[in-house]
Amino acid sequence: MLTYISYTQNNMADLINKKILLFYPFGATKHYGDSIKNELIKKGAYVVGYDERPSQHPIVKAVIRVLKKKVPTLFSAYIKKIIRNNRDFNFDYILVLRGEAFTAETVSLLKTAYKNAKLILYLWDILKSTKLEDVIPFFDKALSFDPDDVKNNSGLILRPTFFMPQYEMLKKHAIKKYDIVFIGTLHSNRYQTLQILKDYLEKNSLSYLFYLYVPSKLAYIKNKYLDGIPVNEEEIHYDPISLDKTLDIIANTKCILDLNFTGQKSLSMRAFESMISKTKYITTNPEIKSYDFYSEKNILLIDINDITIPNEFINSPFEDVPYSILEKYSVRQLVDDLLS
């Protein structure tokens, strides 16, 4: 069974009147960072929030991803500007969510500017993507959602991802429109996997919705012509699906489909969103079996080379998961785990 830092009433973060500098992604997943920011404010903190990157423009993303170690001044200039704009603040915490653009130099700049602040890093992307191994030691506390990254990096603490309160309050429709729904970003072999699943679902007369997101035309060209993903433009969406639209779809859905990166052991937010919204969960990630909310009645592990999705699984009632288990994966508990 997978375990991580335990919850007790005694380690709740005291954030009354604390000043927090928060960095988080402002792109398609901005609502996740917003949820953490709102919880910090709810707990009494004053929060100043910034994008984890200087810009969400695809060219800026690409440049940072390729050149951040070779040309660290690219991101340092952004951090220096933020420091100038907040020269009068004495921050108690600096919290970095994901933080792909960060380097040892930029963390050192923040440490020098805010000597009393505790610097905390929370990774909800794998190190293979963010390449932050050399930056982790410069933080006072670093956590990751990925068991393998934690195992291979002694400076990391395991902390799975979380669900937002909107999913906790979601009211499911009595009659569902979709048997299976997938909402996600195009990457690696995801498109090919969805085509295999699409054939299976249509042959078995199962209703479905696939929302495949690509952040830009440039990303689409890279995926199609450089990475060799045989996707057509009419099959993708350039606009990220809104949180309200996602919630409306989930309310009309029997099962959420989740496809992990090949070899990735960590769980996405979808796993926890499914459990708290009482929606069945279908995944290709065998690590789901090691989590304390795993139940064959609610969760179906599939082999893409031999797909079987029983109608009994889709149509049987969701079996409630004890709230004491689910609360560990709430944004409320996440904030306590990060800052306590």
Same domain as 295, residue 256: yes
| Inside any domain, residue 220 | yes
86 lies in which domain range? 9-159
Tokens 């906790």, located at residue: 168
Rounded (5°) CA angle 234-239-244: 120
Q: What is the CATH number of the domain that holds 52?
A: 3.40.50.2300
CA pair distance 118, 43, nearest whole angstrom: 18
pLDDT tens across 181-216, in order? 999 998 888 999 999 999 999 999 999 999 999 988
Same domain as 303, residue 213: yes
Q: Output the pTM of the full model.
A: 0.92
Q: Using the Cα atoms of residue 269, residue 273, residue 275 and residue 280 in order, give the sign of their dihedral.
A: negative
Same domain as 284, residue 221: yes
Is there a contact between 265 and 148 (Cβ–Cβ < 8 Å)?
yes
DSSP string, 19-54: EEEEEE--STTHHHHHHHHHHHHHTT-EEEEEESSS
Same domain as 201, residue 73: no
Same domain as 74, residue 35: yes
pLDDT tens across 265-321, in order? 899 999 999 999 999 999 999 999 999 999 999 999 999 999 999 999 999 999 999
Residue that finishes a domain, picked among 122, 141, 159: 159
| Inside any domain, residue 337 | no
Extract the tokens encoding 93: 């915490």
Nearest to 149 by CA among 165, 163, 132: 132
Same domain as 76, residue 113: yes
